[in-house]
Structure 1
């Protein structure tokens, strides 16, 4: 994947090369909308809104974040796949929309591998294993032991069947051999409510979505799924430290456009987005969400997300997960 944290000075110099050609054809009065295929308050939504103001200031166009939730993010993805390739309709996507969803849904109204242009990767973040604040388990191993003692098994929630959160739970089931039943919801907020109410036993959520609940004490984090501990939760161990060395799952978020975008337009938009993420304010906002800045330009980003889709396809085959609606 290369080094995502590139030298900022060299990067800013390189982005200027595409500016003159871009300026000749770009209409700075046209609104640019960033479509999110999930409900407000989720990781993609939070990252998009954290950067929208900075992108607007640098690009010169009015910007808006538009939520189009449903079908594992594919409703929002379809909006962008069918949009004009003029740079005014872009998708805030990630491991869910461009990794898991195309792996589990066989009847998508678009071809994920063909109908999008990779513009820029923005950030990466861990998933985190969370339980109710007063759950007796203090560690992952304690949770596994108490779950094995339940004759009817346990439940795990996600913001929808066929999402990356669902697949992370399935991966945990495969690694532990626990009797786990998936409970899908339309959005992550309701899962959090039901975990706090004791109606669902556990959830693996993207860190930005659940960080506030953990910091406020409403939920307990047992482990993060990243290779190393995260800055936002320094006292929470990794899954490897918790006794599961083969359990590493990191999510990413980036911007996609429709297919057939002009390369000069892609380079300019990519430069603006990456510059915003790498700015002091952009980094501050992303880190506050529990995300790590990990920018990549169009070519590197394109190769990375395609590799991630192949990885999730293997998990789907192993877990025998299929969603057709």
Structure 2
């Protein structure tokens, strides 16, 4: 029998409690970082007490922003689920503007598997199109049903946050042979600068039809954003016998200075052993600085293969996915 439903905009006063309750159930089911942090900060609290704390923190989000909307799906007058969409509260260095963002999409367990998720996704897409922005989301790596849903709706993985944590037992990594890394400010090299800009252009144009000027301006902003943070950092040229083969820029993460971060890696036409060498150099740099971990936000258009990072022990909690609408 065909399911009878309707989509409406939420009424904050009337829908708040059930919206918060469903949002809380999603946070628990996915063991989201936000949920885990709330549990750590409230030891000994019951589930109901944690829910009320969560509901209060939800109120800090700017639901009054005109670009924020929650669409509710009702089945026979019952609140069956919602999609919460707004402009993303941050912007990656390769984005010309902030995309619209699906902060949450969830259905009551009685209504899952009946096509309502796709209905809500398409409603969010309409909202993003009206704002003339792409639409993105984050999905946990273990949530395979959600990943399949998003892929069926035209979303692709755009980037993945990946982290390698060091232990006191970790010794210095041995580099693969055949590559020579030289620390220097490679921006002074015409060829190196061209390689860096070409790589960055691929990342920008993954999501935007950007002009050369827009790419150049965005890249300059990216470089200046890290150089203005007073972070410890180093740039390396990598050479084979026949000449320059790649670039590496690594430093402290601006959001957590006790960990290292790969800002930029360019390895065109490389095999996995060469990629491992670049990765090992970044790890060695971080360990030498006595940092606790190494992080990178790996873009789908980057030269590094995700499998190389995973084989080195990097962990990916989930994926940033995007659907191009502009």
TM range (shorter): under 0.3
TM (norm. structure 1) is: 0.24
Answer 1 or 2: higher relative contact order, Cα 8 Å, separation at least 6.
1
Structure with higher strand content: 2
Bigger-Rg structure (1/2)? 2
TM (norm. structure 2) is: 0.24
Structure with higher helix content: 1
